[in-house]
Structure 1
Amino acid sequence: MTELQRVKIVLKTLISLGVAKNQEGVGKLLGYSNKSSFSQVINGKVNLPADFVDRLCALNTQINKEWIKTGIGNVLENDSNYNKGYNDENYNTSVNDFFTDASIKNQTLPLISAEAMIEYNAGNKRSIELNAAKFLIPTFQGSDYLITVIGSSMYPKYNNGDIVACKHLSLDTFFQWNKVYVINTEQGILVKRICKSENDDFVTIVSDNKDYNSFEIPKSKLLSIAIVTGVIRLE
């Protein structure tokens, strides 16, 4: 993940914390009166200004500068001074109350690569989580991990590079037909919509991109299942 991608995640985090209502609002807090100028920076059309990360971190004292620069650690730092960085005008009391619970502060989600997912599902969960970058995203409460969408088979629902939150389910789960799942198969990790098959021992795997054909797979060939609970879209 690049520094710019981490910056975009920080923008989403600041919005979810009530620092601003949207990306344009964050831009104004950073001193960008022109929406187009801020958009060019965020979309990589111009380089990040030298002081951009410092200004971004100044919007909330819990933003982890080291994570933005290197990817080491978490998006937010956990300390007793968490609330110092809130903007009073945009302060959201319910969000603040949510984060003052220590158990919530410590609930971070590991970002796991498709390759690491194979080991993760094989039982090496703890070692994979320890080595993965971790994120604290309040709206994904109850999810187990994050993965990056690769390819365009689920476009326009998900774009290549989007990050989806997943909740792990048991193999004997009751499927919610037409929902998007992350499934581990002998051919690798797939992010697909699962639909009912005419054969009770199979499920139908469907892509939202009509250029990709649907296919069926035996339920017995599903090595692991997780339902998608949210998405971070990289614009």
Structure 2
Amino acid sequence: MNLPVDFVDRLCSLNSTISKDWIRTGNGNVLENDYNTNQSYNKDNTYNNTNESLSSGYFRSNSLPLISAETMIEYSVDNKEVAEASATQFLVPTFKGADYLITVIGSSMYPRYNNGDIVACKHLSLNTFFQWNKVYVINTEQGVLVKRICKSNNEDFVTIVSDNKEYDTFELPKSEILSIAIVTGVIRLE
């Protein structure tokens, strides 16, 4: 695709780390290495800074852990440090306010979310005010669900809805929710 030169220049002026070469050709990383701060981005766009460790500074305060479904139990017992310790950290500036990333498994939320997509999540307290019909990551004894939560006729339950019509809607007792997070963004795989 041929883009006007002034468009590329204007786009790159919005963020000095955006790679003009990547926009024009698709080659390399979407973000350029910033030689003034010794920060760089690896081929998978994870952050690397030669002057700071992964456990301190800018990276620590702005990165998001990609946690596994198995590690979600740690969030239910408020042990976030354990959950994040073994997780790969990603710097995704657009997801400010998110607490972690998790990979979508399965097709129950297709076409909104595909198997392998990565969603950004904002961890909430169990007595949260639900935003009906929003997508949440729900940790239960039977595993982690990425589902839409709707109001139930029973005050002690929520209605769990999949976007994929091949999956049935069901009622879940609020008491069976171990931890919950609202989905705030997605990284889509092709």
- TM-score > 0.5 by shorter chain: yes
Task: Answer 1 or 2: which has greater helix percent.
Answer: 1
Matched, 1:154 2:109: yes
Aligned partner of 2:150 among 195, 209, 232: 195
Contact kept, 8 Å, 1:185 with 1:221, in 2: the verdict is yes
Superposed CA RMSD: 2.8
Structure 1 runs not aligned, ≥5 long: 1-13, 32-54, 69-73, 81-101
Q: Return the alpha-carbon distance in structure 2 between the equivalents of residues 188 and 151 of structure 1.
A: 13
Partners in 2 of 1:160 and 1:113 — Cα distance?
Answer: 14
2:126 counterpart residue number: 171
Go from structure 1 to structure 2 and tell me whether the alpha carbon gap of 1:26 and 1:64 turns closer, same or farther (over 3 Å shift): closer
**Secondary structure in 2 aligned to 1:128?**
helix
Q: Which amino acid aligns with 1:19?
A: I
Q: 2:31, 2:41 within 8 Å by CA — same for their partners in 1?
A: no
Report the secondary structure of 1:194's partner residue.
strand
Pick closer, same or farther for the CA change 1:158–1:131 going to 2, 3 Å.
Answer: same
Superposition deviation, residue 30 in structure 1: 5.2
CA distance in 1, matches of 2:116, 2:163: 16
Work out the number of aligned pairs and report it.
168
Q: What residue ranges of structure 2 are gaps of 5+ in the alignment?
A: 1-11, 52-56
1:219 to 174, 177, 184: 174
2:32 alignment counterpart: 59
How far the C-alpha of 1:27 sits from its partner, in A, is 5.5
Contact 1:78 1:106 in 2 (8 A): no
* Alignment counterpart, residue 180 of structure 1, candidates 130, 135, 141: 135
Q: 2:32–2:41: 8 Å Cα contact kept in structure 1?
A: no
Label 1:198 to 1:20 Cα distance change in 2 as closer, same or farther (>3 A): farther
| Distance of 2:95 and 2:162 partners within structure 1 | 24
Q: Deviations over 1:147-177 (max 9, x none)?
A: 0000000000000000000001111110000
Higher strand share: 2
Structure 2 Cα separation of the partners of residues 57 and 177 of structure 1: 36
2:9 match:
none
TM norm structure 1: 0.63
Cα deviation for residue 103 of structure 1 reads 5.3
Cα contact 1:78–1:105 (8 A) shared by 2? no
SS at match of 2:29: helix
